[in-house]
């Protein structure tokens, strides 16, 4: 049993009585991962004798936290890279290297950076898969 570890035992396929905090992640994983998992059945349900033994199910909260943590650090890294490689060449910065447009939320690059990154990553993913 998984007593003593509050992070364990949050199945993808059994949500009755389970905290809803991870429902959206669980459903997204079912669509994207279980749908292609070799252990899933034709109807999309988990084919394991004990679905709760799947590592994705067992560790869902930890997985979500780990991914969100890396993503946050990745976003910070992108912002730092843009500031160093783009803003440093932009005429909007003042003599101290500060940018009023960024502070006012009026630079599209700063405001939409996560979407810009996603768009560029989408192109890269297409190229990597030979679709571009």
Rg for the chain, CA atoms, rounded: 21
| Phi/psi of residue 116, nearest 5 degrees | -65, -45
CB 90 to ligand SF4: min, Å: 3
* The only residue of 10, 26, 51, 58 in contact with ligand SF4, by rule CB under 6 A: 51
Determine contact, residues 92/100, Cβ cutoff 8 Å.
yes
Would you say how long the chain is, in residues? 132
Reduced 3-state DSSP string for 30-91: HHHHHCCCCCECCCCCECCCCHHHCHHHHCHHHHHHHHHHHHHHHHHHHHHHHHHHCHHHCC
Specify the residue, 50 or 131, whose C-beta has the smaller distance to ligand SF4. 50
Cβ closest to ligand SF4, residue 64 vs residue 107: 107
In angstroms, what is the minimal distance from the CB of 123 to ligand SF4?
21
d(CA 42, CA 109): 44
User: Is there binding between residue 27 and ligand SF4 (CB under 6 A)?
Assistant: no
Using rule CB under 6 A, residue 63 touches ligand SF4: no
**CB of residue 102 vs ligand SF4: minimum separation in angstroms?**
4
Stretch that binds ligand SF4, among 20-28, 72-80, 88-96, 118-126 (CB under 6 A): 88-96
Report the interface residues with ligand SF4, using CB under 6 A: 12-13, 33-34, 37, 39-40, 46, 48, 51, 54, 56-57, 86-87, 90, 92-93, 99, 101-102, 107, 109-110
């Amino acid at each position: 049993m998984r007593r003593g570890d509050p992070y364990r035992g949050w199945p993808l396929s059994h949500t009755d009585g389970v905290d809803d905090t991870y429902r959206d992640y669980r459903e997204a994983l079912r669509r994207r991962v279980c749908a292609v998992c070799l252990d899933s059945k034709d109807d999309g349900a988990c084919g394991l004798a004990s679905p709760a033994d799947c590592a994705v199910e067992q560790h869902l909260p930890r997985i979500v936290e780990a991914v969100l943590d890396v993503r946050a650090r990745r976003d910070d890294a992108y912002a730092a890279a843009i500031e160093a490689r783009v803003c440093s060449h932009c005429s909007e910065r003042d003599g101290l290297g500060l940018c009023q447009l960024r502070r006012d939320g009026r630079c599209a690059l700063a405001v939409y950076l996560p979407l810009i990154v996603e768009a560029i990553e989408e192109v890269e993913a297409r190229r990597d898969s030979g679709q571009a």
